[in-house]
Amino acid sequence: MRETSRPDASPASHTGSSSTATPLGGLRALCSPATLTGGLTELAWVGAHVLTYPLGTWSAALHLDPRRRPGQQSAAARALFAADPLAARIPVLLVHGLVDNRSVFTVMQRSLRRRGFAHVCTWNYSPLLTDVARGADDLGRHIERICQQTGYDSVHVVGHSLGGLIARYHVQRQGGDRHVASLVTVGTPHQGSVLAHVVPAPLIRQLRPGSARLQELTEPAPDCRTPITAIYSDLDQMVLPTRSGRCDHPDLDARNVLVRGVGHLSLPRHRAVVDEVAATLAGHRSAPCLPVGDTSAVA
């Protein structure tokens, strides 16, 4: 994993000029150990996700745990929140992607709780959603309910795939930065995906590069206060090209972090990704990363 802050930064496998690229070189890249391992891991997680998907079809209620206090955390958790112990108490909301539900966050939710985050909840938006803006408006109302239940003025949001785009739209276009302390997107098509041209459904058409909804996100946003961290992968099969997973906007406090050899469904379960999410939400700008190409999941 590495941080890529420049708008023109891109994975090394995507930066070579077309004149020097060869079919043999592309084949070697596809057959590299990291790519093969990442692909097999993705297939395994797809199978596991099919089994767990039914369990996530209903929305879970927010359960407050008053027993979890900063002073009662493990040594690792106390170290994570050493700079700001109260950061552990801010609610964390996880938002899933397209044709999915909260089951994609089973690993991340458990891991964040083990790391000391007291309130980690999920939200299922309607599977019949046809508009990113409508989903963002629904998200805003849900965030307000969480604030009312917990007594906090703001929450952290982690969005996978389309969930990250919905959250960004709410933060950037609907004044959601008032209640979103920070936003982390994971495998989100900030600049669209060429695969969206395959399906003519209304919502998916909004994910096409250059769509009207995505053009709205390129408009000036000088008052947006929510810092955004975009985690994207060079092996993401759904966000193409790779650079589309970056959040690049001159008015946003955006930070881009590249992981290598991790598939789309594997991203929310990958150890280095969860480490980066936890460190970001705890107030750190970077976190210790696993070696490049490591595709292990969080235990």
Between 12 and 84, the more confident residue is 84
Distances (CA, A) of 223 to 23, 182, 218, 227, 254: 47, 15, 14, 12, 14
> What is the CATH superfamily name and number for domain 2-6+30-281?
Alpha/Beta hydrolase fold, catalytic domain (3.40.50.1820)
Q: What mean pLDDT is predicted for residues 116-129?
A: 94
For 262, what's the count of Cα atoms within 13 Å in the CB-facing half-sphere?
28
pLDDT at residue 24 in the model: 46
| Mean pLDDT (the chain, rounded) | 82
Q: What mean pLDDT is predicted for residues 24-50?
A: 57
pLDDT at residue 34 in the model: 61
pLDDT score of 247 more than 80: yes
**Which tens digit of pLDDT belongs to each residue from 192-212?**
999 999 999 999 999 999 999
Domain ranges of the chain: 2-6+30-281
Q: Is-contact 105 268, C-beta < 8 A?
A: yes
pLDDT at residue 22 in the model: 43
* Helix or strand run (H / E) with residue 166: helix 162-173
Residue 150 backbone dihedrals phi, psi, to 5 degrees: -95, -20
Tokens representing 111 are: 């891991």
Q: Is-contact 271 298, C-beta < 8 A?
A: yes
Distances (CA, A) of 298 to 69, 81, 164: 24, 20, 21
pLDDT at residue 5 in the model: 59
Q: What mean pLDDT is predicted for residues 112-119?
A: 93
How many angstroms separate the CA atoms of 79 and 73, rounded? 9
pLDDT at residue 57 in the model: 61
DSSP letter, residue 251: T
Among 8-12, 136-140, 222-226, 280-284, which stretch is predicted with the lowest mean pLDDT? 8-12
pLDDT at residue 42 in the model: 60
> Could you tell me which of 187, 183, 174, 286 has the C-alpha nearest to residue 227?
183
Binned at pLDDT 50, 70 and 90, residue 4 comes out as confident
**Which tens digit of pLDDT belongs to each residue from 200-245?**
999 999 999 999 999 999 999 999 999 999 999 999 999 999 999 9
- The fraction of the chain above a pLDDT of 70, given in percent, is 72
**Which tens digit of pLDDT belongs to each residue from 73-114?**
677 777 888 878 888 999 999 999 998 899 999 999 999 999
Interacting residues of 59 by C-beta distance below 8 A, sequence separation 6+: 102, 122, 123, 124
Cis peptide before 202 (omega within 30 of 0): no
- Maximum Cα–Cα distance across the chain: 61
pLDDT score of 40 more than 50: yes
